[in-house]
Amino acid sequence: MLNFEILKTDGLARRGRLKGTHGETETPCFMPVGTLGAVKGVTWDKVEEMGYSLVLSNVYHLYLRPGLEVLKEAGGIHRFTGWKKLILTDSGGFQVFSLGKLMEIKEEGIAFKSHIDGSKHFFTPEFVVKFEEEAGVDIGMVLDECTPYPATYEYAKHSMERTVRWALRSLEARTTDATALFAIVQGGIYEDLRLRCVEELSRLPFDGYAIGGLSVGEPKDEMYRITRLVAPQLPHDKPRYLMGVGKPEDILEAVEAGIDMFDCVIPTRNARNGTLYTSTGRINIKSAKYKKDFSPPDPECDCFTCRNYSKAYLRHLYVSGEVNAVILNTIHNLHFYGKLMERIRKSIEEGRFAQFKEEFLKNYAETE
């Protein structure tokens, strides 16, 4: 059973608390991505130490490896992975969509070939709900059709309508409220389609609502426009989730529009590529200019990495191919994101979110 409480508002920005079967999380929140039941580069104790209590995994990947039977025999996804707090699973719709020629969308569901071995599989809305319930996740996303960018109006319309039909089928397949179900709003960049999708999904008794089909290649101002349009129209008393977003500046824009939940591979993936997030923007730790820079990556950061290591040492680890480079970079980036969300929540509590956003962006540079 999922419970969501709004504790404070500041404009459209919301400060809340979400409680599920395996604990609670403060919102707005960022979910580290643990696609296969693990956050790359860090162990669960480090994730928890950084203040995270909700992580994201993925039905598509877990279905292929290790498979539902293994998860069930282990006693569920929490016992299998060792993560004792909240888990949200994406339905795998976006991952299947990204397979391109390896997949075919039908009214019944999505036929696809595994990216691992080319074997054939078929996802239906009903199967995704079954997987999420039997795996024991706290929040399950329904199967949707992720509208690509660009897409014609007619394509986006048919995609949105199918997403609504699949959402209804997902609800009908539900057998327990221990796994909360979130619907996903589609409709591309077309305002009338987005609003119609919101209207139809809001009539259905979902536990939360997500905005999908953004951060798929559209210009940033289009993402902001659709987010500002859709978020305030979603049910006020349910959590709102912007899928696959994002960068710090994107999170701030979306919080201002009323979004409560975020996920993205950016902090962990970029850590593995040598990019660190700091209070003054991103830095490329691979750069030769850091060879003799013995200052911490971010003097304002109190993470384990910044307290103990210099840019010069982190660069040395990275260019030497040391696995510790990935670990220390990931710790820093996830800590940065966690602290950003903490500061966002505090600013909403104090009624100064707009001021915080302005000050943060004034100091923060998108690129080095």
Using the Cα atoms of residue 306, residue 251, residue 338 and residue 47 in order, give the sign of their dihedral: negative
Which residue is associated with the tokens 């706290």?
Answer: 138
Q: How far is 58 from 286, CA to CA, in rounded Å?
A: 31
The DSSP code sequence of 192-215 is: HHHHHHHHHHHTS--SEEEE-S-S
- The number of helices, as runs of H, and strands, as runs of E, in the chain is 15, 16
Q: How far is 85 from 26, CA to CA, in rounded Å?
A: 13
β-bridge mates for residue 365, sequence order: 281
Q: How far is 26 from 9, CA to CA, in rounded Å?
A: 14
Residue 3 has φ and ψ, to the nearest 5°, of -125, 135
* One-letter amino acid of 159: S
As a whole number of Å, the end-to-end CA separation of the chain is: 44
What does the H/E/C string look like for 21-42?
CCEEEEECEEECECCCCCCCCC
Residue 183 has φ and ψ, to the nearest 5°, of -85, 160
Structural tokens at position 245: 């977003």
Residue 216 has φ and ψ, to the nearest 5°, of -120, 25
Q: How far is 240 from 263, CA to CA, in rounded Å?
A: 12
Active-site residues, by number, are 90, 263
Structural tokens at position 280: 């003054």
